[in-house]
Amino acid sequence: MRPLLLAAAGLVLASPLAAQDAVRTERAAFRITAVAQGLDHPWGLAFLPHGRLLVTERPGRVRLVGSDGRVSAPLAGLPETVARGQGGMLDIALHPDFAQNGLVYLCQVQAGEGGFSSTLVRARFAEDRFEDTRTLFAAAPRATTGLHFGCRLVFGPDGMIYMGLGDRGRMERSQDLADHNGKLVRLTPEGGVPPDNPFVGRADARPEIWSFGHRNIQGLAVRPGTAQVWLHEHGPQGGDEVNLVKRGANYGWPRATHGVHYGGGQITPHTSLPGMEDPVHVWTPSIAPSGMAFYDGEAFPGWRGDILVGALRGRHLARLTLEGDRVVAEERIPTFGERIRDVRVGPDGRVYLLTDSSRGAIWRLDPA
């Protein structure tokens, strides 16, 4: 099939790539198939019933991808997005009961008094638009920098939604419990504060906070069969971290880190401190991790139980092998030399990747 030009959306769509030589890894072999191309800095992905997808584009759009790879025009009905620096329309997640209620959650950057911030938006999917849209939460205080918005989302087995936030480029905010930035926050599906959050009732803390001391959370996932929430975050120059999240815990930034200032120069002499959680895994030099998924499908049995992480700077797929709660091995899997923004495991057990560019795409790894 020849590429199809969809004038309304301004995108060139491609049919799946022809068969190619398999990429062989330590425990699996795969071929790469293009699902949809021509996307503008795609950031987050959600799987709808019947093989369809919702994909966000950082400049401020959400598009519907059909089971045939056709990409819709931008879906209407969402608040205006501030697409500045690293900000824009970022992650997306479906309510656990999406099949019954049609609710979609988005993390986007919005403007307000004092600047702009990462916000949690809920809307009802209505095929060609969103309806009943509400902004449930906005990180405070706002700032005018275009850095470190975080914005990854995941629903936990407890039914609560977890939202990862960055420090907005001001490192000491991560240790300030009166500031949402540099934190993992935990909210009810209506945007309220769960009564068992660790800082509820403290006058000096924001009650939405679940953990703190994070620099810029870019991956967030629940380990299948457990209640564990895992995340990864960008370090500065070096010191990217994978962390197992604990209620109320401090993950150290910037008082403890394996990274240094860009261009060199010590941030702190400490890589570990009493009362702070050490990372499960560290990348130095940095790979700029983005997107995170536990593999629990049938297509790649050799990967089952492993963590898959995309690399923006490293331009590869990292596979982390776990024993208990420890990372015991890492494999760096070549793909196609592009920045990988997100990694998801589909209902079909395939692995889906988003590539971060003005000609970005959704790619699928098929077993070979």
Full domain range(s) for residue 251: 4-367
Mapped to the 3 state alphabet, what secondary structure does the chain carry? CCCEEECCCCEEECCCCCCCCCEECCCCEEEEEEEEEEECCEEEEEECHHHCEEEEECCCEEEEECCCCCECCCCECCCCCCCCCCCCEEEEEECCCHHHHCEEEEEEEEEECCEEEEEEEEEEECCCEEEEEEEEEECCCCECCCCCCCCCEEECCCCCEEEECCCCCCHHHHHCCCCCCCEEEEECCCCCCCCCCCCCCCCCCCCCEEEECCCCEEEEEECCCCCCEEEEECCCECCEEEEECCCCCECCCCCCCCCECCCCCCCCCCCCCCCCCCCCEEECCCCCEEEEEECCCCCCHHHCCCEEEEECCCCCEEEEEEECCEEEEEEEECCCCCCEEEEEECCCCCEEEEECCCCEEEEEEEEC
* Token code pair at residue 224: 């299948």
Q: Which of 41, 95, 148, 214 is catalytic?
A: 148
Q: What is the pLDDT of residue 19?
A: 45
Q: Is the peptide bond before 285 cis (omega within 30 degrees of 0)?
A: yes
Query: In this structure, what is the dihedral angle of CA atoms 111, 113, 116, 117, given to the nearest 10 degrees?
Result: -110
- The answer to whether 125 touches 151, Cβ cutoff 8 Å, is no
* CA atoms within 13 A of residue 196's CA, in its CB half-sphere: 3
Q: Report the length, in residues, of the chain.
A: 368
CA 184 to chain centre: 12
Quickly tell me which residue has 């608040």 as its tokens.
Answer: 79
Q: What is the pLDDT of residue 20?
A: 66
Positions of the chain with pLDDT under 50: 1-19
pLDDT tens sequence across 300-338: 999 999 999 999 999 999 999 999 999 999 999 998 899
Q: What is the pLDDT of residue 122?
A: 98
Looking at the structure of the chain, the number of domains it has is: 1
- The answer to whether 54 touches 106, Cβ cutoff 8 Å, is no
Q: Are strands 53-57 and 61-65 parallel, antiparallel or unpaired?
A: antiparallel
Q: Torsion-angle region of residue 337: left (phi > 0), alpha (psi -120 to 50) or beta?
A: left
148 counts as catalytic:
yes
Task: Write the CATH number for 345.
Answer: 2.120.10.30
- The answer to whether 107 touches 152, Cβ cutoff 8 Å, is yes
What's the rounded Cα separation, in Å, for the pair 96 and 47? 12
What's the rounded Cα separation, in Å, for the pair 143 and 246? 28
Q: Which of 142, 149, 185, 187 is nearest to 167 (CA)?
A: 149
pLDDT tens sequence across 158-210: 999 999 999 999 999 999 999 999 999 999 999 999 999 999 999 999 999 99
Quickly tell me which residue has 């991560």 as its tokens.
Answer: 174
